[in-house]
Structure 1
Amino acid sequence: MNEYVLRTNLLTKRYKQQLALDNVDMSIRAGSIYGFIGQNGAGKSTLMKLVTGLAFQTSGSIELFGQSEEKALIEARHRIGVAIEQPALFPYMTAYENVEAHRIQRGIPGRECVAQALKLVGLGETGRKKARNFSLGMKQRLSLAVALLGDPEFLILDEPTNGLDPMGVVEMRELLRKLNRERGITILISSHILSELHQLATHYGIIHHGKLLEQLTADELQARCRTFLHIKVDAPERAAAVIERELDTNEFEVLENGAIRLYAHLERPGRVSSALAAHGLEIEQFMPMGEDLESYFTARIGGGAHE
């Protein structure tokens, strides 16, 4: 099995004078859930369309399942399920009839996959109910059922929780987690709900003005957003010794400017300050610091509304 489901190399897309994607190098490991984040117009949907063959790059290359040659790439795309834009749902058809219509259109053999896809997304018991009477959450799940036709190994989903109420968001999250865990499906998902991606993604990519600024794992992101006690004293070396000896921890670092970042005892700051003061240290600054996930992403992409 190839280690990477998707890799791009210097992927660029230009629309007349607008540079939508600028030399993007993206790597998505098999079995991961890749959270793709950026502002409106940052290039998320453009990249997804290039990967799925709905648009063509100006330059650069795409590799899917280890395949990059044009003919092999077309075959590799048959292993992808896509929900980038709302698929054409027929309002006077049932869930089954809608998915069956897409199966026929795509030339997927065997009707049994229709019932399987509907069951997976929790729409197996909707009976004769027409799509026009579905809630937004049901329509989103119906779109996902269409994407799951053909038993894909890689799902590409653009804002699958957009417009859902809190319960619908939770249901979609659990469904995607189940597909990833039980079926081993790799997922590329964009969302403007950063807290939701934090509960789902194993890897992240941050895009801004068509440039992929950063790729990192969930653990790396958590480490960068780690909360700490910021401490400034008159004698940082002596303070470090007190922290290590009296507070019994080495979870701290002394920065070049003499400030100390203490990652332990966050719930007991009084004990920390008392220990330092008891050894005659003059405390100049003492406060909890750190970024939450939204602050980190906003800082990296320069603020603004998210897609």
Structure 2
Amino acid sequence: MSDYVLKTNSLTKQFKSQIALNKVNLSVKKGSIYGFIGQNGAGKSTFIRLVTGLARPTAGSMELFGNSHGQELNKARKRIGTIIEGPALYPHMTAVENLEAHRLLKGIPGKECVKRTLAIVGLLDTGKKKAKNFSLGMKQRLGIAIALLGDPEFLILDEPINGLDPMGVVEIRELLKKLNQEYGMTILISSHILSELHLLATHYGIIHKGNLLEQLTIDELHAKCQQYLHIKVNNPEKAATIMEKQLSTNEFEVMPDGCIKLFDHVETPGKVSSILVNEGLIIEEFMPMGQNLESYFMNRIGGIHHG
């Protein structure tokens, strides 16, 4: 049994002279929440359309649940739930009526799945209220409910928090965490809202102008973005001893040029500098350094212009 629900191999899509996706090798691990990051027009929606079978690749291949050919691949797509370019809702129908209509369209037997799915997304008590009168967050949750009909194992959402107010964003975030943690669902969520994705995703893929720049886990991302105090003193060896004894930490690195990276006590720089000065050291440089998650993404995306 494969550890991955999705793997692509040099997946490429070209429209006349424009290459929308360029030899993309992307892997989504089973049980993960994969944050697919890129600016508008980066190729996220094109990629999703290829995976879900709404468009055909120009070149390359993909593997879904271990299946990569013909009918087996199409059969595997039935295990996917998706929202692409906004949920398809009937505005004059209630939540129950919307799900019932989509249940019939998908040929799913039995009505019991409708109320069960609405309960999962927190819309069971909306009664006779029409979808047109729902908030944007409620509409998005109803769209996710439609995608959940048929109990998919892999949920693909294209910009699901775009345009939502802060409360709506929180609702969708908590719902996706619930689907992942309580129901074991693998989720791919594409977005350009970086500050939100880092609260949700366990894995990341960064795409820019059709090129997949990087894939990394949340731990790898945090390591690359780790905050630290950059310290340069006249006697780095003495400073290291002071940090071990008076700051009770080994979380530092003395670099070849003598500068020190202190990964501990980042929130109390005054305490660190006071101790070093009181021990007779001369501080030549002292500043917090490191990137936040958003600046890392923007540097990676921006770096393509200089490469």
- Give yes or no for TM over 0.5: yes
- More deviation in 25-34 or 252-261? 252-261
- Give the share of equivalent positions with the same residue, in percent: 68
Shift of residue 69 of structure 1?
1.3
Shift of residue 197 of structure 1?
1.2
- Distance across 2 between alignment mates of 1:8 and 1:124: 38
- Distance across 2 between alignment mates of 1:214 and 1:301: 10
Tell me the alpha carbon deviations over residues 101-134 of structure 1, each in whole angstroms, 9 at most, x when there is no partner.
Answer: 2222222222222222222111112222222222
2:156 match: 156
Tell me the alpha carbon deviations over residues 21-71 of structure 1, each in whole angstroms, 9 at most, x when there is no partner.
Answer: 111111111111111111111111111111111111111111111111121
Paired residue type of 1:192: H
Tell me the alpha carbon deviations over residues 179-219 of structure 1, each in whole angstroms, 9 at most, x when there is no partner.
Answer: 11111000000123222211111111111111111111111
Within a 5 Å distance, the mapping from 1:66-81 to structure 2 comes to 66-81=66-81
1:202 match: 202
1:4 match: 4
Shift of residue 280 of structure 1?
3.9
Within a 5 Å distance, the mapping from 1:100-139 to structure 2 comes to 100-139=100-139
1:221 match: 221
Determine if the alignment matches structure 1 residue 192 to structure 2 residue 192.
Answer: yes
Tell me the alpha carbon deviations over residues 234-273 of structure 1, each in whole angstroms, 9 at most, x when there is no partner.
Answer: 3334433332344332111122333211011223323322
- More deviation in 28-37 or 191-200? 191-200
- More deviation in 180-189 or 281-290? 281-290
Determine if the alignment matches structure 1 residue 268 to structure 2 residue 277.
Answer: no
- More deviation in 178-187 or 94-103? 94-103
Tell me the alpha carbon deviations over residues 114-173 of structure 1, each in whole angstroms, 9 at most, x when there is no partner.
Answer: 222222111112222222222211111111111001000000001111111111111111
2:285 match: 285
Aligned residues: 304
Shift of residue 303 of structure 1?
8.2
1:43 match: 43
Paired residue type of 2:92: Y
Paired residue type of 2:264: A
2:83 match: 83
Determine if the alignment matches structure 1 residue 142 to structure 2 residue 133.
Answer: no
- More deviation in 145-154 or 240-249? 240-249
RMSD (Å), alpha carbons: 1.8
SS of residue in 1 equivalent to 2:164 = coil
Shift of residue 20 of structure 1?
0.9
SS of residue in 2 equivalent to 1:302 = helix
1:169 match: 169
- Distance across 2 between alignment mates of 1:103 and 1:199: 32
- Describe the shift of the 1:92–1:247 C-alpha distance in structure 2 as closer, same or farther (beyond 3 A): closer
- Distance across 1 between alignment mates of 2:154 and 2:11: 20
The alignment's TM-score, normalised by the length of structure 1, stands at 0.93
Shift of residue 278 of structure 1?
4.1
The runs of at least 4 consecutive aligned structure 1 residues that moved more than 6 Å come to none
Where does structure 2 lack aligned partners over 5 or more consecutive residues? none
Residues 86 and 160 of structure 2 are in contact (CA less than 8 Å); yes or no, is this contact kept in structure 1?
no
SS of residue in 2 equivalent to 1:14 = strand
The alignment's TM-score, normalised by the length of structure 2, stands at 0.93
Within a 5 Å distance, the mapping from 1:246-257 to structure 2 comes to 246-257=246-257
- Distance across 2 between alignment mates of 1:93 and 1:110: 20
- Distance across 2 between alignment mates of 1:41 and 1:20: 8
Tell me the alpha carbon deviations over residues 265-300 of structure 1, each in whole angstroms, 9 at most, x when there is no partner.
Answer: 223323322333344433211011121111111111
Residues 229 and 288 of structure 2 are in contact (CA less than 8 Å); yes or no, is this contact kept in structure 1?
yes
- Distance across 2 between alignment mates of 1:257 and 1:19: 45
- More deviation in 289-298 or 242-251? 242-251
- Distance across 2 between alignment mates of 1:248 and 1:142: 52
- More deviation in 125-134 or 60-69? 125-134
Shift of residue 84 of structure 1?
1.3
- Distance across 2 between alignment mates of 1:97 and 1:69: 36
